[in-house]
Structures are given as structure tokens and as C-alpha cells.
Structure 1
Amino acid sequence: MENHAPRHDARAAGTHGAVEREHGATAGRGTESGAARPKGGRRLPATVVWPVIAALGFGCYTIWIDHTGGASGGHAALLGLIAAVVTGALGLTLVHFQSTMITDTRALAYGALFGSSMGWLYNLSGPSVLKSSAWGLVMGAVMFVVSLYIFRSQRVREPHGRHRPRHMNRTPHGAH
């Protein structure tokens, strides 16, 4: 075997998990210049970022719908702020406790949060409470089915493992 000397700017094959320097990746905590990542430069986890982004989007959409419906700018902004804070708190709570829920309960919680939010937004745009409730139920049911499909298809990430193991028509060795 030949023993090749590593070059300073060389790239390794991408299938071996090597670091490619021209893409900005670093091999460890310290870089070649010896500088470490600053302590204040911590990233927020995705379990915090995505509910906050969703809440901000929900608040902005609430402002737009309320202002389009004829409310003043201040009233629409206050309603949007309240909507963003409430849905953000509920979303962060749901994401925080989702690892303690079984799959069906988790999907039901996502469906309930999404359905009630969409029903409330639909009611804000003008239709009756009955129509808005029906719309919220439909959207909640759709979210329940979609999230249940996602949670069941990615069983590796599920906190409790497989929901229902596929052991059909198996009898114990002693029971014939």
C-alpha cells in the first residue's frame, strides 16, 4: 500500500464522512487557527424555532385577515399579537411534551391545535360560528391523518418505539 501525505487543501471522498474544507465545515471544536466557537453563539433547537416561526406566521395572518375585514390597524395588530402569543405558547407546550405522548394522542393534539386555529381564523373572516366550527373540524381531521401518517411512517424517531408490532398469527412455542 502506498502511504500518501495529506495535503493542506485536499478533499477526501464524500462517502467516507470526511470534512470538505471548501464548504465551510470544521473537523472539531477548534479550527486550524485554534479559534473555538464563541460561547454566546449557541443555536436554538428546532423544537423552539419551528413553533415560534409558526406562531409569528399565524399572528401576521391574523393581522391581515382582521385588517382586511375592516378593523383598525391597532386593533388588528393587538389581535395578531395575542394570537401569536397564545398559539406560540400552545405550540411550544405541545412540542415540549410530545415525547411523553403515544402516537395517536400526539397526532390528535396536533390536529386539535391546527383545527381550532384554522376554525378561529375562518370565523375571523366573517362566516357563522357553525361554518367555522365545521371548517375547524375538517382541518383538524386532515391534520390528524397527516400527522398520524408521518408519525407512524417514521417509527425510528418515535419516543416509545413501535406502536403495534407486526406479530400476526404467531403462537408461543409451547402452545400448539
Structure 2
Amino acid sequence: MDPHAHRDPRTGGEWRPEARAARSHGTVEPEHGATLVGPVERAAPEATARRMRPALVLPIIAALCFGCYTIWMDHTNGAKGGQAALLGLIAAVVTGVLGVTLVHFQATMLTETRALAYGALFGASMGWLYSLGGSTPSVLKSTVWGLVMFGVMFIASLYVFRTHRDREPHGLHRPRRAHTPRRPHVPHAAH
């Protein structure tokens, strides 16, 4: 064993002599030429922790709230507890899957398409909740309410997406260019 080599107290591995600059900080840093020789190499806790992105957490929380509200609406309209819980679970799963899918693919969509997708999800959800109302509304009333909520969400999301273009993951869709006049086509002279 090299007399200048030291043991890593965390893993029991050996530091090579060229790792002296890194030892002063208590870590093995490859940019200084340090390598850890030993049976176990542990990754930093930040590297092993898998965290969900906040953009994916919000649709899941919204779906859970939607499912709980569905349970409450159905239960207050006379449904038994198990039936209301099953309906709420189905509503939460369906809206959660659709919401997470929409958030996952929104970076590939045009602004108008993304606003349409958010409006469709919100309008369909609100129309369905309206159909759970106590006075047994007709299908036509639920559809009209869903279309109104679709329009509200479409306008609101389009406004947000258009005014916050600098934060979009894909930037401007159609950047404006200065108009350059076309030169007239001049036919070549015959030889």
C-alpha cells in the first residue's frame, strides 16, 4: 500500500496519491484527477433521489381535488359511499392521466393547440361535474355548460401562453421577419 494513500471513511476504498487536492474538501472530485479505488462507490444523495417535476405534480394534485369534489357531489346527491368513492376514483384517474399526458407533451404543441387541449380537458370535466348536479340537468344543459367552460379556459390559457412567450420551452413559434420585396422574374434572353 502506498504510504500517501488514505482510506475513505464512508466506503472503505482507497484514495490514490493524485487525489490529494480533492481530499481537502472531503470529496473525490474527478476534475482534479482523483479516483476512488474500492469495493463500494456511493453516489451523492442528490443524484440518487428521484424527484417529480413541479409541472407533473400540479396535474396530479388537481386530479385528486377533482376526484374528491366528485365524491362530494355524488354523495350529496344521494349516492352510497362506496359508489361515490368509486366514481371519484375513476374521475381522479382519468383526469390525472389526461392532465399528466397534456403536461408531458405540451412542449411539442403550438400555442393554439395547447390552449385547445387545456380548454377541452377543463370543459369536459366541468360539463361532467355539472351533470352530477342535484336537479338532474339535461344532457343539453351539461353540454352547453361544458362548452362555456371550454371557451373560458381556451381564452384564459391562450392569453397566458401568448403573454408569457419568453418562458415557453420552445420559444416563439412564428417569429416575424422583415418583409423583403421580391425581385421581378426576368426571363433569360434566347441565344
State the TM-score bracket (shorter-chain normalisation): 0.7 to 0.9
Q: C-alpha separation between the residues in 2 aligned to 1:147 and 1:131?
A: 24
Q: Percent identity at matched positions?
A: 66
Judging changes above 3 Å, is the alpha-carbon distance between structure 1 residues 84 and 33 closer, same or farther for their aligned structure 2 residues?
A: farther
Report the equivalent of 2:143. Answer: 133
Q: Is the 8 A contact 1:102 1:160 kept in 2?
A: no
TM-score when normalising by structure 1? 0.73
Q: C-alpha separation between the residues in 2 aligned to 1:83 and 1:173?
A: 56
Give the paired residue count: 143
Structural mapping, 1:18-167, within 5 Å: 36-37=44-45, 41-125=49-133, 126-167=136-177
Deviation at 1:99, TM superposition (A): 1.1
SS at match of 2:173: coil
Judging changes above 3 Å, is the alpha-carbon distance between structure 1 residues 133 and 164 closer, same or farther for their aligned structure 2 residues?
A: same
Q: C-alpha separation between the residues in 1 aligned to 2:115 and 2:46?
A: 39
Unaligned 5+ residue runs, structure 1? Answer: 1-31
Judging changes above 3 Å, is the alpha-carbon distance between structure 1 residues 162 and 72 closer, same or farther for their aligned structure 2 residues?
A: same
Deviation at 1:43, TM superposition (A): 1.9
Q: C-alpha separation between the residues in 1 aligned to 2:78 and 2:175?
A: 54
Q: C-alpha separation between the residues in 2 aligned to 1:114 and 1:173?
A: 45
Unaligned 5+ residue runs, structure 2? Answer: 1-24, 28-43, 185-191
Report the equivalent of 1:10. Answer: none
Deviations 1:79-131 (A, max 9, x none): 00000000001111111111111110000000000000000000011311111
Q: C-alpha separation between the residues in 1 aligned to 2:78 and 2:132?
A: 11
Deviation at 1:46, TM superposition (A): 1.4
Deviation at 1:155, TM superposition (A): 1.1
Letter in 1 for 2:97: A
Q: C-alpha separation between the residues in 1 aligned to 2:68 and 2:79?
A: 14
Judging changes above 3 Å, is the alpha-carbon distance between structure 1 residues 173 and 130 closer, same or farther for their aligned structure 2 residues?
A: closer
Q: Once superposed, what is the RMSD of the aligned Cα atoms?
A: 2.3
Letter in 2 for 1:75: Q
